[in-house]
A and B are shown apart, each in its own frame.
Chain A
Amino acid sequence: MSTLIELKSVARHYTGSSGTVRAVDNVSLSFKEGDFSVLAGSSGSGKTTLLNLIGGIDRPDIGEVLISGISTQGKSESELADLRLNKIGFIFQSYNLLPVLTVYENVQFILQIRGIADRLHNELILPVLKRLGLIDLKERFPSQLSGGQQQRVAIARAIVLKPSIVLADEPTANLDSDTADSLLDLMQSLNHEDRVTFLFSSHDPEVIRRARTVIRLRDGKVIEIENR
């Protein structure tokens, strides 16, 4: 399996009124194609910061992040945006769908910003919506959906362009346990059947239980990597 993401001695510090916080401190990691991994740890352990660094949303103060062998160092905002668009899918804790767009249009939005011709949209979107059980909801707006359904739309948006990796920040935090279970089933089956690579940040025991690799963080440092 080829390496998709590589972190080399990465650190990210924040300076506030209470002094400097080492949100991520000298972390070196790599993720391979087909992984189903989780960054685990309590609140403030640096999970989300690390996920943002991996996704090119944030830049490290020290070290280097490589996405599909391409370093994010020295890249402009536009280049980073392109890298995220082409290589990474994102799933957020609070779904973050565009409220004025329907289910179909939320997924279509990502194709639109990628510049994919309109005539190909149905061909790309409908199978994904079908796979995620959203086909009958495609004309609905996010406000007309349950939390679980909204998170499914977020997954559809994340995978429609077949990214190298999907980064999911606490994807089950706002869901009840049944919905969270079914969503994790879905992501596991996408991982197994469609070879979608997932990296979670979570402190949900169920997510941690299902992950094949668990990276435990404390105070911005990797304290344990557990491969199953």
Chain B
Amino acid sequence: MLYFRLGFRNLWRNPVRSLISIAGIAGSVFLCCYLANIKIANHQKMIQNGVEGGPGHLALYHPDWLTEREVDNLIPVAEAIRITDSLKHLSKRTAFRLYIPALAQSPRNSEGVVVMGMELEKEILKHPLLKKKVLIKGTWHSLSGKQDALIGEALAKKLGLDIGKKFVLMVQDKHNEINSQLFRIRGIFQTGLKDMDNNTVILPLNNAQSLLRSENEIHEASILLKDINDLPESLKTARSLKDVSSVHPWNEAIPQLLAIISLDRINGMVMAMVLFLIVGIGTVNALCMSVMERTREFGVMRAIGTRQEKISLMILMEGIVLSLIGIASGLFACILLSLYTQKYGIDLSSQIKNIEAGNILLEPIIYSGWNFNAMGWISLIMLGLGIFGSLYPVFLATRVSPSEAMR
């Protein structure tokens, strides 16, 4: 206890220096932990949006769909219904979709587009991109006409089209034949996602199937589960029931999302390592200065019989005390700010309109979650740095010759 007290008091012999070191440690802990908390919330949101707007927690595809997005890589609706029905107790929502590359032609222009065939009534209120009030003109209700279509706002502009206007979609159908049909714009949407607004046409599923000449077939059956923890069971059941389709969990279906998240994590780690390095050097510097100023004291300690190990312990204690105060302050600040941003978020909408990441749109409001794992590791690493940073000062202090020091 006396060593701990000694370490603590020694730090306050030069309060400015110690406070700067503590501020460095606290700042790093705060930054790293707070960023980890923001990142985890952001990643969860990205996964949620990616999963809800894409394959769901698990998806049924043609076995070749994930490697080759050919229009004829279709699965029968009947099989998708059979499998999703068997998962009804676990499932929150299922959606059948088609994705068709097409050429959109208007009297003024022509553009390459992606046609999304969707069960509009089912999806429009739940799809993360569409559930918000993204329809800026027209309606998506009761689109039962064979020519009904919704179109992205930027695409409508490029084609010089507006509500009620007609345009032609030309596709390669499932029999590798050219098929073109006339459509009329019933609604214009603006999601904020460039790809979606620039080159997407949404058709009711029946219309898309008709365009592709593939009645009763789809590209994707997206199944959203009530609880992500049911994924292994659902996957097992779905795989046991499949016939021609293949069943994929979300992470296989959208690997690019995982890649983005991994890259983001690596970025965070690199930043943390740079901070750790700076703090490590700062700690070594502060302790070295402190040790070198006390050469005589260490000489006296050695003279009165203090063993080198005990002197090492004292300096280690200084490093530990310095780190612990810094870590505690950093964690405290992180917890306070995380609580605030968890509840209220940081609204960046005045600076940024929308944040796009891998075809996923995120709101420009930053929320934080709790990454206790990262907080624990960051604190431990900082403590380790404090101890590691004490090693050179320990080496210096134990090399002090008592007779030289007291001369």
Interface positions of A (Cβ within 8 A of B): 52, 55, 57-58, 77-78, 81-86, 88, 90, 92, 96, 98-101, 105, 108-110, 112-114, 118, 157
Note all chain A residues with C-beta closer than 8 A to B305: 81-86, 88, 110, 113-114
Residue of A nearest to B11 (CB): A100
Is B10 part of the contact surface with A, judged by Cβ < 8 Å? yes
Residue of B nearest to A89 (CB): B304
Note all chain B residues with C-beta closer than 8 A to A58: 403
Known: A52-B403, A96-B406, A99-B13. Is A109-B307 also a contact (CB below 8 A)?
A: no
Per the bound structure, the CA–CA distance linking A209 and B406 in Å amounts to: 27
Chain B 282-298 interface mask (CB, 8 Å, partner A; 1/0)? 00000000000000110
Q: Is the CB of B2 within 8 A of A109?
A: yes
Is B63 part of the contact surface with A, judged by Cβ < 8 Å? no
B18 to chain A, nearest CB (A): 12
Q: Is the CB of A101 within 8 A of B9?
A: yes
Residue of B nearest to A110 (CB): B304
- How many residues belonging to B are interface residues under a CB distance threshold of 8 Å? 25
Known: A98-B297, A105-B5. Is A57-B403 also a contact (CB below 8 A)?
A: yes
Note all chain B residues with C-beta closer than 8 A to A109: 2, 6
Query: Looking at the complex, which one of B1, B3, B307 makes contact with A82 (CB distance below 8 Å)?
Result: B307
Per the bound structure, the CA–CA distance linking A98 and B306 in Å amounts to: 13
Note all chain B residues with C-beta closer than 8 A to A114: 305
Residue of B nearest to A58 (CB): B403
Is B57 part of the contact surface with A, judged by Cβ < 8 Å? no
CB contacts under 8 Å to A, within B1-23, are 1-3, 5-6, 9-10, 12-13
Residue of B nearest to A161 (CB): B305
Q: Report whether over half of chain A's contact residues are helix, strand or loop; otherwise say mixed.
A: helix
A55 to chain B, nearest CB (A): 7
Note all chain B residues with C-beta closer than 8 A to A90: 303-304
Q: Is the CB of A112 within 8 A of B304?
A: no
Q: Is the CB of A113 within 8 A of B6?
A: no
Residue of A nearest to B9 (CB): A100
Chain B 371-407 interface mask (CB, 8 Å, partner A; 1/0)? 0000000000000000000000000000000110010
Task: Show 20 residue pairs from A and B whose CB-CB distance is below 8 angstroms, ordered by the A residue.
Answer: A52-B402, A55-B303, A57-B302, A58-B403, A78-B307, A81-B306, A81-B307, A82-B305, A83-B305, A84-B305, A85-B305, A100-B9, A100-B12, A100-B13, A101-B5, A108-B2, A110-B304, A112-B2, A113-B307, A118-B1
A84 to chain B, nearest CB (A): 4
Per the bound structure, the CA–CA distance linking A85 and B300 in Å amounts to: 12
Per the bound structure, the CA–CA distance linking A84 and B301 in Å amounts to: 11
Note all chain A residues with C-beta closer than 8 A to B10: 100
A199 to chain B, nearest CB (A): 15
Note all chain A residues with C-beta closer than 8 A to B402: 52, 57
A69 to chain B, nearest CB (A): 19
Q: Is the CB of A57 within 8 A of B307?
A: no
A2 to chain B, nearest CB (A): 22
Q: Other CB < 8 Å A-B pairs besides A52-B402, A78-B307, A100-B10, 6 of them?
A: A57-B402, A88-B305, A90-B303, A98-B6, A100-B9, A109-B6
Q: Is the CB of A96 within 8 A of B2?
A: no
